[in-house]
Each structure stands twice: as structure tokens, then as C-alpha cells.
Structure 1
Amino acid sequence: MSSETGHTGQNEKTVTNRTMDMVVALVFMGVSALVMSDSWRVGASWAADGPQAGYFPFYVGLIMFVASTVTLVQNIVTRHPDLTNFVDRTQLVSVMQVLIPTTLYVGLIFLLGIYLASAVFIAFFMWWLGKYSPAKIIPVAVGVPLALFVMFEIWFLVPLPKGPLETALGY
């Protein structure tokens, strides 16, 4: 469609449903193999006193692996593959607008700690996508992590990843 209608990017091919089914099947096969391998390492058989620690996770991983393999094989050998578009460019851009900053946020947690990283993340999204004024951004970006700190660290006594700010404050 034309940009005059405001639908630029719609109906533009990105990736097919078949390709995504195969990629997801391969990812699940990898995760399943990892689960089965680690379960085998800790013991995935039946001992004299019952199942070992990895017994049930091993078989859940095995079921996931078999199901993913079936999905992969079906998509490879089918005579009528689903070649419809998985996502159009407009939708893909919307997903990337959230996925990329969220991935950076997870990385920032290791550098700054969860509370400071959360403040930056909330402030960024409120400014970038919400177009809010600093008068609204600052109280929310400071208040939410502060409330979470009180709830987790003080009330529930659950320590979350700390950064240099919390360390400097003695937490």
C-alpha cells in the first residue's frame, strides 16, 4: 500500500510462517538437549529410593525434543508449506522498538543493578514512546524502583542484583 494511506510496510514480506516454525523448533530442540544433558549429569534414572533429581526434567526435555523434531520434519517434508508472511515490516518495527531496549535493560542490570537500570528503562520508555514530560517521568522512574526496593529488600527480604549505587549506599 502507499504511504498516503498510512500503511507503509504492511504486506511487505519479512519471513514466512514455515521458516519461523522451523527456527522455533530448532531452538526448542537445543533447549531440550541442554535440559536432557544437564538432567543426565545430575542423575536421570530411577534409584533405590525413587527418582533421581534429573529424572523428571530429563523426560520433559525428551518430550519437548520429540515434539520439536516432529514440527521440524513436518515443515521440511510438507507438500503445502505455509509460506504466508509471519509478520509485516510495521509489526516487526513495533516489536523491535520494545525488544532492543529491553535487551539493553537486561544488560544494564549487570552493570548498574536492577533498581538503577529499571529507573533508566522506565524513564527512557516514558520519554521515547510515551512522549511524557520530565515532570511525569522523574517521579515514576524514581518511585517505581524505590517501591520495588522497599517491597523486595525490606519487606520480603529478597535480595535482587545490586549495582554500584546500592553498594555505595551500603545495601
Structure 2
Amino acid sequence: MADVSTPIPERGISRRLVEIIVSLMLMGVAALALWDSYGRGAGWDNGPENGFFPARVAWLLVIAALATLWSAFRREESVFVTYGQLRMVAQVFLPLFLYVLAIAFVGIYVASALFMALFMIMLGSFRWWQTLLAVVLTPLVIFWVFELQFRVPLPKGPIETMLGY
């Protein structure tokens, strides 16, 4: 007789929790919009005042957020995202966040080269020379297209400054 066991459900963040957090955040955004709209004037004095339409949209957002909150409390518990899936998202989000931060300090070209190298080495199965070629040529081509051909300046860092750009 074979042992038939029920599969163990994967652990993760519940859908109910995510919907509650999102609805509370929407209510916060709506509260800010209402505060600003009524500060500007949300009435109708010979026509709509500055905050009239934004206030109406914010009230609709409050209603939608309350409906989502009500629905979340009535919903059956289920997993929105497993911890394994969340780990995969973090593998992309964390380097992307660091990339955006690095642009301010080293410029877009160096930051892009480092970002590409990180992904090609960690997540891809590229040979070292393919990675090196991509990391060097891609920023150079982008520099040539944007800076020299289109004359669109992109954020630069100390290396570009040292080279006179």
C-alpha cells in the first residue's frame, strides 16, 4: 500500500495581508490628496475651485480602498507570494536599487557596466570574455549614441569628468 500524503503548502505572504496593506496605503494617499485639495479649495464658487476635481477623485479612491479592505477581511486565506518567489524578486530588485543609487555617484555608464557584469556573472552562464565585451562595448555605444550623436547628456561620474566630459 502506497503512502499517499497531502502536499505541504508553500509558506509565504498571505493575500489578505497584502490587500490590507495596499488598501491602507491607498487610503493614506487619498487622505493626502483630500488634505491638499481642501487646502486649495474644493468647493464650487462660480465654477470649480482648484481642488474640486482632485477631491472627488480622492473620495472615489477612499471608497475603492474601503471596498478592497472589506473584501480582504471576507476573503479566504491564501498565499499571495511564496518566500521562494519573493527571494527571486529580491535577486533582481536589490541590484536594481543599488544600480539606481550608484548612478548618482559613478554616473550611468560605470553603474550600467557594473550592473550588467553582476547579472551576467550571477544569473547568466556567459563566458568571461563575453561578459567583458558586453560590459565595455555597451556603455561605449550608449555614450556614442546619446552624448555624441543626439547631444543628450546623461548622468556622469568622476571617470567621465576626468576624461573631459
The bucket for the TM-score relative to the shorter chain is 0.7 to 0.9
The answer as to 2:122 corresponding to 1:128 is yes
Return the offset for 1:143.
2.1
Matched positions, count: 158
Which of 137, 143, 151 aligns to 2:137? It is 143
Gaps of 5+ in 1: 1-9
SS in 2 for 1:15: strand
**Identity, % of aligned positions:** 41
Cα distance change on mapping 1:152 and 1:64 into 2, 3 Å: farther
* Structure 1 range deviating more: 157-166 or 92-101: 157-166
**AA matched with 2:132:** I
Which of 107, 118, 139 aligns to 2:112? It is 118
Task: Give the TM-score taking structure 2 as reference length.
Answer: 0.73
Task: Give the TM-score taking structure 1 as reference length.
Answer: 0.71
Task: Look up the match of 2:150.
Answer: 156
Measured in 2, the distance between the counterparts of 1:98 and 1:146 equals 24
Task: Look up the match of 1:68.
Answer: 65
Q: Which has the larger radius of gyration?
A: 2
**AA matched with 1:68:** A
Cα distance change on mapping 1:60 and 1:49 into 2, 3 Å: closer
Gaps of 5+ in 2: 1-7
Return the offset for 1:125.
0.4
Measured in 2, the distance between the counterparts of 1:151 and 1:89 equals 41
Measured in 2, the distance between the counterparts of 1:28 and 1:59 equals 15
Return the offset for 1:66.
3.6
Cα distance change on mapping 1:60 and 1:142 into 2, 3 Å: farther
Task: Look up the match of 1:24.
Answer: 22
Return the offset for 1:35.
5.4
RMSD: 3.2
Measured in 2, the distance between the counterparts of 1:156 and 1:48 equals 49
Task: Look up the match of 1:11.
Answer: 9
Which of 99, 104, 115 aligns to 2:98? It is 104
SS in 2 for 1:160: coil
Return the offset for 1:68.
2.5
Cα distance change on mapping 1:119 and 1:44 into 2, 3 Å: farther
SS in 1 for 2:12: coil
Return the offset for 1:152.
2.7
